[in-house]
Amino acid sequence: MLARMGEEATRGDAVDGIDAAGVETWFRDHVAGAEPPLAFERISGGRSNLTYTVTDTAGGRWALRRPPLGKRLASAHDMSREHRIISALHGRVPVARAVGLCEDESVIGAPFYVMDWVEGPVLRSKADAELFPDHDDRRAIGERVVETLVAIHSVDPGQVGLGELAKKEDYVARQLRRWQGQWEQSRTRELDLVADVHDRLVARIPDQGPAAIVHGDYRLDNMILTPSGEVAAVVDWELCTLGDPLADVGLLLVYWGEEHDELSPLLEPATTAPGFPRRADVRELYAERSGRDLSEIDFYVALGLWKLAIVLEGVFVRFRAGQYGDAEETREGNVVEQLVAAASEAEQRLS
């Protein structure tokens, strides 16, 4: 996790979602070598679970993850599940080392977990890409995004203790059912096209191959890089499950912005900077390195657009309810309808 340069961490009693005394007591009991008092800083950039920098008096640093503030959907923001996933994957793919899990909600009002701090740049925007001005470096970073996804999909869930994380079969059908249900619970408007696209996608679900670990929100700005552009850690595993790995590829292509795109779920994503591979290159590289058939990848792009619209509707609802504290204004409410329309158009283009 990377705090913004030049910002000072602030005491926990001034940070939404943190009880300083409770966290300090927990750290004394569960984090070897920690030296309270602790300081806390909310990290911007996330659109669901909240992440904080935790710093002690000796200069030690950790990252703390907790759910959004206030009421949460029952199936979302499961801290113990996310902690279990990164614990299982550490040493096999780039993830931060898990330090501890607190399921006692009396400590800060919600479960949370702590992991090692991973220092490095996060490329959230085209401006951030200037950290790597050489076009060859940018292309290499793009290729590593794909190669890391191939590595995640190559992990045998059973061998790392995640074989029972979720059902393996009928992943797409389960996703369509789950996210349509989330829409019904969190929508702020009438938008019949959401149900229409759902029904059309249900009618043409491709056959699923062997189940793999699916990240669920895989993109460039959900990873921390090293100063040389290697992948130091993939973050935000809250949507991780078992299922069809091509869903990750489809969503990655949705996020992979190009310079003249009319619609982008991210504001000027880093991949719009010169040097990054094109979406077609991403597809070809994944197919080559994974050996998987991407002939029906356009279905998964349509699925990704539709799912992302519903995810952003939930973000918009939580933002309006103050569940991110004093967070910056979000544009999600304006982009939801555009994403649903794009999903509809993508589905219509399928042969």
- Is residue 315 scored above 90 in pLDDT? no
At residue 45, the pLDDT reads 56
Query: Which structural domain range is residue 214 located in?
Result: 128-348
- Give domain status of residue 302, yes or no: yes
Q: Does 23 share its domain with 102?
A: yes
Q: List the beta bridge partners of residue 63.
A: 53, 115
pLDDT of residue 10: 44
Whether residue 296 lies inside any domain: the answer is yes
Q: Is the pLDDT of residue 5 over 90?
A: no
Average pLDDT of the chain to the nearest whole number: 89
Per-residue pLDDT reduced to its tens digit, 129-178: 999 999 999 999 999 999 999 999 999 999 999 999 999 999 999 999 99
CATH number of the domain that residue 81 is part of: 3.30.200.20
Q: Is it the case that residue 340 has pLDDT exceeding 60?
A: yes
pLDDT score, position 217: 94
Domain total of the chain: 2
Q: Return the higher-pLDDT residue of 30 and 313.
A: 30
Cβ-Cβ contacts under 8 Å for 302 (sequence gap 6 or more):
197, 201, 250, 343, 346, 347, 350
Please state the rounded mean pLDDT for residues 203-216: 95
pLDDT at 76: 54
Least confident of 20-24, 94-98, 210-214, 325-329: 325-329
Q: Which of 116, 145, 172 is the last residue of a domain?
A: 116
User: pLDDT confidence of 263, banded at 50, 70, 90?
Assistant: confident
**Residue 237 in domain:** yes
pLDDT in tens, 224-255: 999 999 999 999 999 999 999 999 999 999 99
Question: What pLDDT sits at residue 146?
Answer: 98
129 versus 267: which is more confidently predicted? 129
pLDDT of amino acid 7: 35
Residue 219 pLDDT grade (very low, low, confident, very high; cuts 50, 70, 90)? very high
pLDDT at 1 over 50: no
Residue 309 lies in a domain: yes
Residues 87 and 156 grouped into a single domain: no
Nearest to 41 by CA among 53, 49, 51: 53
Using only C-alpha atoms, what is the Rg of the chain?
20
Please report the pLDDT score of residue 318 as a whole number. 65
Q: Is the pLDDT reported for residue 6 higher than 80?
A: no
State phi, psi for 209 to the nearest 5 degrees: -85, -165
Higher pLDDT among residues 144 and 209, named by residue: 144
Q: In what order do the strands lie in the sheet with 50-55?
A: 39-42, 50-55, 61-66, 112-116, 98-102
Share above pLDDT 90 across residues of the chain, in percent, rounded to a whole number = 77
Residue 298 belongs to a domain with what CATH number?
3.90.1200.10
Task: Please indicate, yes or no, if residue 158 is contained in any of the structural domains.
Answer: yes
Exposure letters 138-169 (e unless 16+ CB within 10 A, then b): bbbbbbbbbebbbbbbebebeebebeebbebe
Q: Which of 168, 165, 249 is nearest to 208 (CA)?
A: 168
Listed residues 95, 116, 137: the one ending a domain: 116
pLDDT tens track for 84-116? 999 999 999 999 999 999 999 999 999 999 999
Query: Mean pLDDT, to the nearest integer, of 279-295?
Result: 97
In a domain, residue 108? The reply is yes
Within a domain: 171: yes
User: What pLDDT does 22 receive?
Assistant: 96
Are 187 and 87 in a shared domain?
no
The per-residue b/e assignment along 280-290, b for 16 or more CB within 10 angstroms, e otherwise, is eebbebbbebb
Mean pLDDT of the 20-47 span: 90
